[in-house]
Amino acid sequence: MQRRTFLRSTAVAALTAVPLTTSAVGSASAADIQVSSLAALQSAINGAAPGDRIVVADGTYTVPPGSSINITGKNGTDSAPLTIVSKSRGGAVLRGERGFVLSGSSNIVLSGFSFRQSTTLEIPADCSAIRLTRNDFQFADSGDPYWVVVRADDTKIDRNHFHDKTTAGIFIVVDGPGSTAMAQNLHVFRNHFSDHSFTGANGGEPIRLGVSGRALSAAKAYVEYNLFERCDGDPEAISVKSSDNTIRYNTIRDSRGGIVLRHGNRSTVEGNHLIDGTDGVRVYGNDHKIVNNYLSGLSGRALVIGSGTTRDHHAGETEAERRGNDACDRAVIAHNSLIGNTGTLVGETRTYAPQDVVVADNLLVGDTGSLVAMGATSGFTWQSNLLWGAAANGNIPSGGFTRADPRLAQGADGVKRLTPASPAIGAATLGGTVVADDIDGDQRGSVRDIGADEYATAPALRRPLTAADVGPNAA
């Protein structure tokens, strides 16, 4: 117990370093430039210098057809961005066909607006360090299908609410310059995505990171601490179609969509809660890390290790190969908790089987079907997984698991965690530095527990997110 308490204090110190604080873009300043009309706003932008803060009075501003609010050739600095902010959060409502149009600009902050346009807000490749923060996005369903398109490097999208879309289309699309490159270093955090109710088979993702033609390009995006609720427009709430991304500490609740590494390589899916929805995590491509995730109450497939119509995307492949599923190779799938799902750990039956995947130290608990229902595999390592419940073991190799009651208890946040007598405590065996801490923020130490939770007595530092943790009014 002393080991656990000490390591918890270490985790507190580590979490304070996570870059989730925000500059005071909403606070008043003697240098504020107050405007109350579209003409005055455009004039203020045209004359703005680094560090200026243009404050738009509350009210509804309808941009005439064929017009826009232009931010052209304006450059703040890292320490003195050019900020355009609504006087109160959500108080300045932008209507009409088009709102802000950016070009050749950097270090610009757009904060506190209610966006009600019908045309995509684009952050083009000739811009950089653009930030969208504390805005409310509800574009017209009859307008462009994509609400925000990012092609610029170093974009931040934080503490916004994207909500209420009934037609096909995507809240945030991330592309890049040309046809194969990706925007670099995107950071999407503390946003609330809710109520995408498109009923088609696909095409209604909240977030799409790339597209098949950009699959081999490294984006190095971080999508973290976001809440997804009732996101039913697509089986993929976060659709990753590029390489080298990190998807962590998000909560997806009551949603059809899950986290899908559809194209690309070397991404990490870590510490996410997927609760009471349909789909969980699906994995295609090479060298991914899927660790510390909590998947519970899902009516579809909780964790899919995907087979392929092709083996490895490459620069010379055909269009059909590029758009096809790349079999999952060399993934590490460890320290996940899959509890009470209809389909637990599942495979597929395409031509190319997944190969050389490590499945270790996972907790699988269920009462229906089979806990493991893989198709063909090649070179898999199954190690020290813990299984329990009325569900059959399935086709997991006999040496890759133990069957025992994990002795879980449900907390006030709905998450089932280990209790002191759990056989999962200290039973993890996978070598190497797979995870430093657990889903709650507890440090793992040298003696690790099976599943997403490392047993501890102190309150969790991380937990499933609620609406109070995200969106325009979040800390």
Per-residue confidence (pLDDT) for residue 25, from 0 to 100:
55
What number is the average pLDDT over the span 328-344?
Answer: 98
Domain boundaries, the chain: 120-469
* Contact by Cβ (8 Å): 427, 450: yes
What number is the average pLDDT over the span 339-346?
Answer: 98
What's phi and psi for 156, nearest 5 deg? -115, 130
**Rounded distance between C-alpha atoms, residue 207 and residue 252, angstroms:** 12
**Rounded distance between C-alpha atoms, residue 463 and residue 475, angstroms:** 16
Tokens linked to 225: 């601490």
Quickly tell me which residue has 């974009």 as its tokens.
Answer: 155
What number is the average pLDDT over the span 399-418?
Answer: 97
CB atoms within 10 A of CB 46: 12
Question: DSSP for 324-369?
Answer: SPBPPBS-EEES-EEES-SEEEE---SSBPPBS-EEES-EEE-SSS
Exposure string of 118-150, with b = 16+ CB inside 10 Å and e = fewer, is: ebbbbbbbebbbbbbbbbbbbbbeebbbbbbbb
Quickly tell me which residue has 């797979």 as its tokens.
Answer: 434
Quickly tell me which residue has 């007595």 as its tokens.
Answer: 457
Question: Given a cut of 70, is residue 147 above it in pLDDT?
Answer: yes
**Rounded distance between C-alpha atoms, residue 65 and residue 232, angstroms:** 32
Tokens linked to 58: 């509350």
* Contact by Cβ (8 Å): 392, 365: no
* Contact by Cβ (8 Å): 231, 254: no
Percent of the chain with pLDDT over 70: 94
**Rounded distance between C-alpha atoms, residue 215 and residue 313, angstroms:** 8
Per-residue confidence (pLDDT) for residue 28, from 0 to 100:
55
Write out pLDDT tens, residues 211-260: 999 999 999 999 999 999 999 999 999 999 999 999 999 999 999 999 99
* Contact by Cβ (8 Å): 267, 240: yes
Torsion of CA 372, 322, 219, 141, to 10 degrees: -90
**Rounded distance between C-alpha atoms, residue 273 and residue 145, angstroms:** 28
Per-residue confidence (pLDDT) for residue 319, from 0 to 100:
86
Question: DSSP for 168-205?
Answer: S-EEEEE--STTT----S-EEES-EEEEE---SSS---
Write out pLDDT tens, residues 110-129: 999 999 999 999 999 999 99
Nearest partner of 276 among 293, 256, 249, 291, judged by Cα: 256
List of E strands, 31-120: 32-35, 53-56, 59-63, 69-72, 82-86, 92-96, 100-103, 106-111, 113-115
Give residue 320's pLDDT band: very low, low, confident or very high (50, 70, 90).
confident
**Rounded distance between C-alpha atoms, residue 16 and residue 441, angstroms:** 11
**Rounded distance between C-alpha atoms, residue 330 and residue 89, angstroms:** 46
Write out pLDDT tens, residues 437-451: 999 999 999 999 999
**Rounded distance between C-alpha atoms, residue 434 and residue 456, angstroms:** 19
Tokens linked to 96: 């009409």
Question: Given a cut of 50, is residue 62 above it in pLDDT?
Answer: yes
Question: Given a cut of 60, is residue 21 above it in pLDDT?
Answer: no
Residue 59 carries which DSSP code? E
Tokens linked to 97: 């066909």
**Rounded distance between C-alpha atoms, residue 279 and residue 76, angstroms:** 42
What number is the average pLDDT over the span 303-317?
Answer: 95
Write out pLDDT tens, residues 86-110: 999 999 999 999 999 999 999 999 9
Q: Which residues pair with 437 in a beta bridge?
A: 443
Q: CATH fold of 120-469, please?
A: Pectate Lyase C-like (2.160.20)
